[in-house]
Copies of this chain bind each other. A is one copy, B any other.
Amino acid sequence: MQDLTLVMAQLDPLVGDIPGNTDLAIETVREACIEHGADIVVLPELFLTGYPPEDLLFRPSMEKRLREARVRMAEKIARDVLVIVGYPGRREGKLYNLAGLLYNGEWQEEYAKQALPNYQVFDEQRYFSPGQETLVFKHKGVRLGILICEDIWEDAPVAQARKAGADILITLNASPYHQDKPAERLRLLAGRAEQVKCPLVYVNQIGGQDDLVFDGGSAVVDAKGQLKVQAPYWQVGLMPAQFIKTKKGWEPRAGEVEPEVDPEESLYCALVTGLRDYVNKSGFKGVVLGLSGGIDSALSLAIAVDALGPQRVQAVMMPYHYTSEISKEDAAKQAKMLGVHYEVLPIAPIVEAFDDTLAESFAGTPRDTTEENLQSRVRGTLLMAISNKKGVMVLTTGNKSEMAVGYATLYGDMVGGYNALKDVYKTWVYRLAKWRNTQEPAIPERVIERPPSAELAAGQQDSDSLPPYDTLDAILSRYIEGDMSAEAIIDAGFDRDDVYQVVKLVDRSEYKRRQAPIGVRVTPRGFGRDRRYPIVNGWQPGE
C-alpha cells in the first residue's frame, strides 16, 4: 500500500529577516526528513519574509534578497523531499503572494494566491495582484492542490483545485488569532473538505508580530471533514501526518489531535505569546510596569512573568495620598509571590513641585481631572526614566474597556511599548485572573475581589463615572465588534443614558487610541489597523 508522510512546519518567523527565516526553513526541512522521514514539508504563508511584511515589500532589494534565499534553499535542500513555502514574488511587474515548490534542489512551480483579504487587519490589495490560476502538482503519484490562506475562505479557489484533480488540498496560512477563531477555523476546514470531498492540510504559523498573534493549530481533515491530525496551539514544532492510498483515494491516517483548549487558557496564551515575541524580537532586556494594587497591573505582571521569567520583570509601586493601604500590601505581596524586583517610589514630592509651578497659572480654578491626570503622568514619567536608564521596556496595563471609553491618561498610565491587555475587556481581565490562579496562585485574591478604582481621588471607584463593567462591556462589544448602532443596543435591552454615554465616549476617544502603544489583538475587532475611524468626526450616534 502506497503511503506518504507530510510534515506540517508550524514556525515563528521574524518579519523582514529573510536570511534568518531561510536558515530556519532549511534547518526545519532537515529535521523533518531526519526525524519524520518527510516526503513533503509544508511551511506557512509568506514565511521567508514573515507575515505581514507591510511596506517592507517596497524595499528595492526585496526581490534580490528573496532570490538569494531561494537559491540557498535549493542548494541546501537538494534531496528527495518536496518543500512548499510561502514568499512574495514579482512577475511582469506585478507582485504576488506565492507558494513555491522545491524538489531535489530545483524550484518546480509557483502558485499565486487568488483571494487577497483587504478587510479587518489585512491590506493585501495594497501590495499584491490576485493570482488567476489553479495549481495542482503531481508528486509521487499524488496530486496536490495548492492554496494560500484566504483562498479557502472563499468558494471558488477550493472548488477549482478539486476540479483540476487534486487528491489532497494543501493550504499555507498566516491566520491571526482572535477569541473563538480556533473553533471557527476548524469548522471552516471541516466544511470545505466535506464540500469538495477531499482531505485538506492546513499549516499556520506561530508567534507575535506587533499587534497580531498567530496560534498555530495546524491540522489535517479528511474528505468527510473529520479532524485527523492537529498540532498543538501556541507551540512551535513539526507535526507529521500520514496519508495512505485507498480505493477511495488518498486518506489521512488518524494521528495526534490536540484536545480543545478552554477559552481562558487560549486567550491567556495569546497574551503571553504576543508579549514574549514583542519583547524578544525587539531585543529588550525585560520589562518594567507600575503595580498599583489593581487587577489590570496584577494580571499584566503575571503575564509578563509567564512570558519572560521573573528575572526579566520589575514592578514599581508609586503611591500617593489616594493609594489605599491594601493596594500597597497587595502589590508588595504579589511581587514577592512572583519573585520580581520591586520598588516603591512615592510621588507626592513631585506632584507638589508641579502644583507649585502651576499655582499662579491655575489660581482661582477648581480642582478637576487635571490633577488626576497629573498623578498619572508623574507615574508614567518615572516608569519611562527607569526604562531609559535600565534598558527595559515599559509594559502598559490598561484594558480594552478603558481604551474604548478613554478612561486612561495619555502620557500617564498609557505610557509604554506594549500592552498585553489592550484588546481584553475588563470582564475578561477578571476571568483570566481567576483562571490563572487555578493553575498556580499568581494574583492575591483580594485584588480580584475588591471594587475597581483608579485611586486618583479620595474614595474614587470606577463605577462613579462608568456603568458597571458587565454592562459597559456588553455595550462596548455590541458597538465595537458588533457594529450595532446606539438605538439597536437600546432595543436589545440596555439603558438609553448608559448607551449614549458609552458610545459618545468611544467616538470621542479616538485621538487617545491613536497615541496608545500597540498590544495583542485578541478580538475580531481590535483597536488599531482593525478599526480605522477618523479622529475629526461629525458622525452623531443614533440609529
**Which residues does A use to contact B, with CB under 8 Å?**
14-18, 20, 50, 52-56, 58-61, 64-65, 118-119, 123, 125-126, 208-210, 277-278, 281-282, 343, 345-347, 349-350, 352-354, 356-358, 361-362, 365, 368-370, 373-374, 377-378, 380-382, 384-386, 388-389, 410-411, 415, 417, 483-485, 488, 511, 514-518, 531-540, 542-543
Contact = CB atoms under 8 A, between A and B. Distances in A.
Contact of A357 (B118, B119, B350): B350
Q: Which 9 A-B pairs have the closest CB atoms?
A: A17-B538, A16-B539, A370-B388, A353-B353, A14-B538, A61-B543, A411-B411, A16-B538, A350-B353
Contacts of A485: 59-61
A483 B346 contact: no
Contacts of A16: 534, 537-540
Copies of this chain assembled into the complex: 2
A55 B531 contact: yes
Contact of A209 (B123, B356, B484, B534): B534
Nearest to A119: B126
A511 B388 CA distance: 15
Contacts of A125: 118, 125
Given A210-B535, A349-B357, 7 more contacts: A15-B534, A17-B539, A278-B536, A350-B357, A365-B389, A377-B384, A378-B381
A328 to B, nearest CB: 16
B373 A345 contact: no
Given A125-B118, A516-B515, A60 B483 contact: yes
Contact of A377 (B56, B277, B381, B533): B381
A83 B415 CA distance: 50
Contact of A384 (B60, B123, B411, B514): B411
A537 B417 CA distance: 15
Contacts of A542: 61
A368 B518 CA distance: 27
Which of A65, A209, A282, A361 has the most chain B CB atoms inside 10 A of its CB?
A361
Contacts of A55: 531-533
Contacts of A282: 535-536
Contacts of A278: 536
A537 B210 CA distance: 9
A540 B346 CA distance: 43
B373 A384 contact: yes
B389 A370 contact: yes
21 contacts: A15-B538, A16-B537, A17-B539, A52-B534, A55-B531, A55-B532, A60-B484, A118-B125, A123-B126, A208-B536, A343-B361, A345-B358, A346-B357, A350-B353, A354-B385, A361-B386, A370-B385, A370-B388, A373-B384, A377-B384, A384-B411
Contacts of A17: 538-540
A538 B350 contact: no
A209 B536 contact: yes
A303 B415 CA distance: 29
Contacts of A281: 536, 538
A385 B368 CA distance: 11
A388 B361 contact: no
A81 B247 CA distance: 74
A101 to B, nearest CB: 25
A347 to B, nearest CB: 7
Contacts of A386: 358, 361
